[in-house]
Amino acid sequence: MMLKFVVIDDEPLALEVLDGYLKKLDGVHSASLFSHTAEALLYLENHQVDVLLLDIKMPEMTGIEFLKALSDPPLTIFTTAYRNYAFEGYELGVIDFLLKPISFTRFNQSISKVREFLELKMQHSKIEAISDESENFVFVKSGVQRIKLQFDDVIYIQGLKDYAIVFTHSGKILLKGSIKAMLDIFPNNRFVRVHKSFIVSIQKITRLESNQVLLNSQQIPIGRHFKDDLEKSLTAR
């Protein structure tokens, strides 16, 4: 899978580092580098790109403003020195968040996450969920196959563009449909939406903090509009 990248950062050294990392990877078709958001915006309006590496704090336009200005943004990875932007990034559907200084190991993990999503998308783009009367499972359809998905096996669900990634103990399943559509499939006595982009298994929550839930070591952000529903779900149990 050959990927086309765009890298946007107002710091020349940051561009140089990320460009160097991309040159170490196999499967990179091209990488276009921009230090000015206006030039990058024009480029993205006229070229198809697979992955956007986007800084947040920039003088002309913030990365958040830039992403909102795109009508159909590519898969986006935020690169920033400011940790507090991570939750806002998930609101915009970014696939990952890299905190500067970025090591090559962490960068490679992020690109692997992109590749995994794109491969799942190619394999399962026609998956649709089929409701079942059972309280313990649903069947998901992939082509002519139907896969039995046990609710107990599901840890959390992440919405990304027009898809939902179901994280289970045995792997990941990609479903075609929005995160909102998943609420009709996964019962509300077992699952709760905690963020614009996340649904979690209530049973798998190990700790609740002010702005995130922990599912063992996995941290999931809590959106401010979903706090009340989360509290009600936990209180009702």
HSE-CB at 6 with a 13 A cutoff on CA atoms is: 25
State the average pLDDT over residues 37-53. Answer: 96
**pLDDT of 125 higher than 50:** no
Average pLDDT, the chain: 88
* Amino acid identity, position 205: I
Residue spans of the domains in the chain: they are 3-122, 127-235
User: pLDDT tens digit string along 130-171?
Assistant: 655 567 888 887 667 778 889 999 999 999 888 899 999 988
Query: Of the candidates 226, 173, 162, 167, which has an alpha carbon nearest to the alpha carbon of residue 196?
Result: 226
* Amino acid identity, position 201: S
CATH topology of domain 127-235: OB fold (Dihydrolipoamide Acetyltransferase, E2P) (2.40.50)
Count other C-beta atoms under 10 Å from residue 4's C-beta.
Answer: 15
In the 8-state DSSP scheme, what is residue 153? G
The sign of the torsion formed by the CA atoms of 32, 36, 38, 39 equals negative
**pLDDT of 80 higher than 70:** yes
**Lowest mean per-residue pLDDT among 139-143, 150-154, 174-178, 179-183:** 139-143
Domain 3-122 listed as CATH 3.40.50.720: no
For residue 236, what pLDDT band results from cuts at 50, 70 and 90?
low
Of residues 160 and 103, more confidently modeled = 103
